[in-house]
Structure 1
Amino acid sequence: MITHVHSTTVNVRDLDEAASFYVDVLGWEKRQDSTEAGMRWLTVAPPGARTAFALSQADAPNVSFAMGCGISLITDDVDGDVARLVAKGVRVKGKPETMPWGDRATWFSDPFGNEFFLVQLAS
């Protein structure tokens, strides 16, 4: 079952400059800052918020991945949700796969072509 919105992607010119704005100016917290599979993953959020901004640098390597998942949704059963979505005629890009960072995920689209990244967290 989809439980909550994890993040929405915000495209920025410079990841460090953006992190400084959101953390130092707005007072948000840096949730994640890691580089895996050749891509930097940086999230920020207001203190205590469940949903974060995933900051994406437009000219970064592998940006097609980052820009392909504008909104990430968390589920506790990605395989079950995908089966239910497919049974209801929802377009799913493929079977859930284990991502390089360990989470299982896939993408699905609404009837208007908006894509959502459906993620079951590894931990």
Structure 2
Amino acid sequence: MFTHIDHVAISVKDRMKSIAFYEENFGFKQYFEHDVPGVPALEKVVYLKLGNTVLELEHWNTNKVNAGCHFCLISDDFDGDYNRLVEAGIPVISEPHIPSPRVPEEKGWKRVLFQGPDGEHIEFRG
């Protein structure tokens, strides 16, 4: 049986810009990068880690669009993280609001959605 998601992948146009974006704004750290033989349109694949979360950046030399999905991070300082990202000029897609809690521990949590450099949506809750 499956136990968990290993990683989430997004397409990027400029891997160095995306690596810096996720390291500087969200605390991810790059830990691996490789070529993909036999896929000439895929320049490099880079892996970033935040705790047990792995984000895969696929650097395509063709125009790939991120659409229809997002990933969500948990914040232990929602207001501080929100203000820091707004001050950094990261576009807000959905303003902070309190959604219905899925479990009792989430009662009163806030949710917000930002946009990354390649159109990807980044949610965080806390």
Do Structure 1 and Structure 2 share a fold, with TM-score over 0.5? no
- Normalised by the shorter chain, which TM-score bucket? 0.3 to 0.5
More strand by share: 1
TM-score between the two structures when normalised by the length of structure 2 = 0.39
TM-score between the two structures when normalised by the length of structure 1 = 0.40
Q: Which has the larger radius of gyration?
A: 2
Q: For CA contacts below 8 A with separation 6 or more, give which structure has more relative contact order.
A: 1
